[in-house]
Structure 1
Amino acid sequence: MSDRRIAPELMGENDVVDLLVRQHAMIRDLFDEVEESPAGSRRAEEAFQRLVRLLAVHETAEEEIVHPYVRLVLDDGDEVVDDRLAEEREAKQLLADLERLGTGHPDFSGGLQVLRAAVLAHARAEERHEFSRLREHTGVAERRAMAAGVKAAEALAPTHPHPGTESALKNLLLGGPVALVDRTRDVIRQAMGR
C-alpha cells in the first residue's frame, strides 16, 4: 500500500462520517499489515510508519474539526467528546512508546496488540456514540463542509503522535510548527532509507 493510497487528505469521501469510518477501516488494514510483516523488517517498519502517520493525522483532524462540532450539536456532547479525548490520549502515548521501540524490539509485538485493542475500541466508540449521532443531528451540507475541513486539517497535521495535544486549541497553536518538524523528519528518514 503506497503512501499516496493512504493519504487521508486525498480520499474521495465527501461526507465526514463516511470519510472517518473509511479511515477506521484503513487503520485496521494497516494493523494487519504490520502484524503480518516479519518483525524488524523493512516491510514492517514501512507499514508501521504508514499506520503512525494515518493515526496521527486522523486524530488531529477529529480533535480540530469533529469534536468541537459534536460539543455544539449534541446535548451531551461534552461528555461524549471528553470520553473520546481520554481514549485518544492513551492511544497517542501507546503509539509514541511503540515508535520509540521500533518494530524489531522484542516488546513491539505485545505493545502493538495493546495499541490495536485500544484504537479499535476507540473507533467503535466513536462510530457508535459520536458519528452515528452526528449524522442524525446534521445535514448533508454540514457533513460535506466538515469532510472538507477534516481533509484540510489532515493535510497540515503532525505525522507523529504528540500526547497531550488533544484539544482543538492546542492543535491549532502547536500543530503547524510540530507538523513542520514531523514532516521534515519524515523526508529525512525516507531519504536515508529508514
Structure 2
Amino acid sequence: MPQTKGTKDPNDVVQLLLQQHVRIRTLFEEVATTKGEERKERFHELVRLLAVHETAEEEVVHPFARKNIQGGEHVVKDRIDEEEKAKRALSALDDMDPDSPEFLDRFAALRQDVLAHADAEERHEFAHFNEVADRSKLERLGRAVKAAEALAPTRPHPGTDSAAKNIAAGPVAAVVDRTRDAIRKVTGTT
C-alpha cells in the first residue's frame, strides 16, 4: 500500500482513502462470513461506505488525479469504468435476500471486482499524489473528501460517474449546492 511521505495524518487524502479501503476489505470479509441479520447489517454498512467513498472520489479525487498525475485522464477513466460496474452490481444485490445462493455468488464476484479496483486506485492513482502535491494540498483534499462524504448519497446510483452527474442526481438542489460550496471552500478551487 502506498504511504504518504512519512505521515499517518488522518486528514491526508491518501491516508484517509487507504483507511477506508481497509474498512471496505474488512466489511467484505464480514459479509462473506456471517449470516442472517448480521450479514444484512454488514452488507448495508458496506453499501453505504462504498456509496459515499465513490461519490467523494468522483467529486474530489478523480478531478485532482485527472489534472495532476501523468496519464491522469486514462487512469481516471479506467477507475470510473470499474466504479460503474460495481454500482450496478451493488444496486442489484441491494434488492436480494443476503442469505440466498444467488446473492452469495454475485457478492463474491463484486468482492473480487471492488478489491481489484481498490488495488488499482492505490497503485495508479493515490501512489502518485505525493509526487504532485505537498502535505498542505493533501490535507485540503482530505477535508474536501470528508465534506463530500458528509452529504453524499448513501446508495449506489449507476450513471453518476462524475461530479456533474452526482450533482444532477441530487434530490435537493440546495444540498448539492452546499456540498459543492464546502468542497470548493476546503480545496480553495473556484
With the length of structure 1 as denominator, give the TM-score of the two structures.
0.82
Following superposition, the deviation at residue 176 of structure 1 comes to 5.0
Structure 1: stretches of 5+ with no match in the other structure = 1-11, 181-194
Q: Output the CA distance in 2 between the equivalents of 1:88 and 1:132.
A: 19
Corresponding residue number in structure 1 for 2:17: 20
Structure 2 counterparts to residues 9-158 of structure 1, below 5 A = 13-38=10-35, 41-158=36-153
**Partners in 2 of 1:100 and 1:52 — Cα distance?**
12
Distance 1:135 1:48 in 2: 33
Find the aligned partners of 2:154 and 2:63 in 1 and give their Cα distance. 21
CA RMSD, 1 decimal = 1.5
The question of whether the paired residues in 2 share the 8 Å contact of 1:64 and 1:172 is answered with no
The 2-side partners of 1:175 and 1:72 are apart by: 25
C-alpha distance in 1 between matches for 2:171 and 2:134: 30
Q: Which of 140, 158, 165 matches 1:163?
A: 158
Report what 2:6 is aligned to: none
**Identity, % of aligned positions:** 49
CA distance in 2, matches of 1:174, 1:142: 29
Structure 2 unpaired stretches of 5+:
1-8, 176-190
TM-score by length of 2: 0.84
Q: Deviations over 1:58-110 (max 9, x none)?
A: 00000000000111112311111000000000011111111111303320111
Q: Structure 1 stretches (4+) deviating beyond 4 angstroms? A: none
SS at match of 1:107: helix
After TM superposition, give the deviation of residue 175 of structure 1 in Å.
3.2
The CA distance in 1 between the partners of 2:133 and 2:113, in whole Å, is 28
Counterpart of 1:174? 169
